[in-house]
Amino acid sequence: MSSPASSGDRDKVVSKLPGQLRQDLKIRAAQHGIEIQAAVEQGIRDWCALASATEPVDTAGADSFSTFLPPGQWETFRKVAADRSVSLIQGLAQSVRLWLDSNPAPDVERPSVTRRVIVCNQKGGVGKTAITAGVGEALAESPNALHAVRVSKALAKALRASDAAAGEDEPLEIESLPGLGMRVLLVDFDPQCHLTNQLGAAPLPMNGDSLTNHMAGDPKGDLRDLVVPIDEETFGNRLHLLPACNDAFLLDVRLSAVRAREAALERALAPLEADYDVIIVDCPPSLGLSMDAAAYYGRRRDGEKPGQSGALIVVQAEDSSADAYELLTTQIDDLRDDLQIDIDYLGIVVNLYDSRRGYIATSSLQGWVDIKNPRVVGLIGDLKEQKEAVRMKQPLLSYAPKSQQAIGMRALAREIS
C-alpha cells in the first residue's frame, strides 16, 4: 500500500520484507554511502525492466517495511507484479535481492604502506593502553556490520569550552556505519604488560623470545610465532596482539650497545608489516631510548602521505599532562632535527574526561583545544564500561559495543584514518 505521507517529492510505501534481507539492505546501502530508499528505487526499477521475475525469495516471517519512492513507481510495480503472478512482498524481496546482487560489498581500502601509530605520553596513568586497544578494535571491526559512531560535528560540539564548562550533557549525534575492516596488530611495548593483561593474553616468559630480544639483535625465533589473535568471533581474525615481556625493563640498557638503535623497533617489526594494514604501538611512560625507537618507527616513509603514520598523544584534562606533553614533544622534535626525518603528530586524545570535576577539567580541555596543531582528535569520557572491560579482560568494543566510550573510540579511529 502507499500513503500521501511523503519525503520531499516521494510517496511513502508500506510493505513487508524478511528481516535478514532488510538488514543486508541497510548494511549494503551504508557501505555504498546511499540512502535505503534510493537502493530500493533502483532495485524495483531494474526488477520491472526484467523479462520475467527472478528466483523466488523465502519471505517467511517477513516484517513491516516502509520506504519512500518516486510518485507512480509503486503503482507500476504493482502492475508488473500482478502480470508476473507474484505477491507484492515477493516482488519487493526479489527487487531488493536484485539490487544487492548488482551492488556487491566494496573491498576494504587498504593503505599502500603499513600505517604505524605510536600511542605515547611519558606520564603514566593517562590511559594510553585503553586508547591503543580501543582504536585498534575500532579499526578492525567488521565491514559487513553496522556500528554506532559519534559523528565529527558531535565531537566538535563536545569540545566547545562553553558547553563543557556549563556541564551540559547534550545527546551525541550518532550514526550507524560499517566497520573499517582493517588488519591490525597491537604491540605491547610497555614492560608493565598492561595491554597484554587487559586483553586477556599472557605476558611472554622471561626465558623465552620477546620483542626486546629482536630489537637487541638476539632473537630466539620468528616474531610471528609470538603474535596472538584477539576475540576472533568479534573481529574475525583481523585483530592481533604482540604481547609484552617484563624483559623490556632492560631494553634501554640493551639498546645502548646496538648500532643505529633508533631503528631497532623498525628492524624487529618490519617482517610483520606485510600482514597488517595498521600497527599500533602502546609505548611505555618513558623518554628513554625505547621512546626514540618508537618515534623513529612512526616517521613518515618515502611515498607515504602526511598524517598516515605518526604519534598519537594521550593526555588528561589536568595540569601535569601539560608538563608531560612539553617533554614528549621536545624529544620528538629533537629527534626530527637530529636525524632529519618527518614525524607527524596524528593528534591529541583527551582521555578520562569528566566535566563534573569543575574548572580544572574544563579549563584544561580548553587549553588542549587551543593548541590547534596537533589538534584534539578525540574526547573519551571517564565511564565505568572501560574499567569493567579491563576487569573482565575483554576488549571494550566486545564487552560494551554500544557504550559511549566505544562510540567515541570509533569516532577517534575515523579521525586518524
Q: What is the H or E stretch that residue 280 is in?
A: strand 278-282
124 or 186, which is more confident: 186
- Of all residues in the chain, the percent with pLDDT exceeding 70 is 93
Q: What is the pLDDT of residues 386-398, one digit of tens each?
A: 999 999 999 999 9
pLDDT given at position 4? 45
Q: Binning pLDDT at 50, 70 and 90, where does residue 170 land?
A: low
CB atoms within 10 A of CB 69: 23
User: Is the per-residue pLDDT at 161 higher than 70?
Assistant: no
pLDDT given at position 358? 84
Q: Binning pLDDT at 50, 70 and 90, where does residue 162 land?
A: very low
Q: Binning pLDDT at 50, 70 and 90, where does residue 172 land?
A: low
The arithmetic mean of pLDDT across residues 50-54, rounded, is 90
User: Is the per-residue pLDDT at 159 higher than 80?
Assistant: no
The arithmetic mean of pLDDT across residues 49-76, rounded, is 94
Dist. CA 374–CA 369, nearest whole Å = 9
Of 230-239, 295-304, 359-368, the least confident: 359-368
pLDDT given at position 9? 83
Q: What is the H or E stretch that residue 329 is in?
A: helix 319-339
353 or 160, which is more confident: 353
Domains of the chain: 2-102 (1.10.1220), 115-416 (3.40.50.300)
pLDDT given at position 317? 85
- Of all residues in the chain, the percent with pLDDT exceeding 90 is 79
User: Is the per-residue pLDDT at 7 higher than 80?
Assistant: no
pLDDT given at position 267? 97
The arithmetic mean of pLDDT across residues 121-126, rounded, is 86
Q: Which of 176, 213, 158, 207 is nearest to 410 (CA)?
A: 176
Q: Binning pLDDT at 50, 70 and 90, where does residue 153 land?
A: low
Cα first-last separation, the chain: 44
- Could you say which DSSP state residue 248 is in? G
pLDDT given at position 25? 97
pLDDT given at position 167? 45
Q: In the predicted model, what is the mean pLDDT of the chain?
A: 91
Phi, psi of 208 (to 5 degrees): -110, -160
pLDDT given at position 160? 59
The arithmetic mean of pLDDT across residues 51-63, rounded, is 93
Task: Answer for the pair 279, 114: CB distance below 8 angstroms, yes or no.
Answer: yes
pLDDT given at position 401? 97
- Could you say which DSSP state residue 226 is in? G
Task: Answer for the pair 129, 195: CB distance below 8 angstroms, yes or no.
Answer: yes
User: Is the per-residue pLDDT at 6 higher than 50?
Assistant: no
Q: What is the pLDDT of residues 312-330, one digit of tens each?
A: 999 998 878 888 899 999 9
With vertex at residue 295, the alpha carbon angle to CA 262 and CA 180, rounded to the nearest 5 degrees, is 130
Q: Binning pLDDT at 50, 70 and 90, where does residue 150 land?
A: confident
pLDDT given at position 3? 45
User: Is the per-residue pLDDT at 291 higher than 90?
Assistant: yes
User: Which residues, including other chains, have CB under 8 Å from residue 168's CB and lie 6 or more apart?
Assistant: none
pTM score of the predicted model = 0.91
Dist. CA 330–CA 8, nearest whole Å = 55
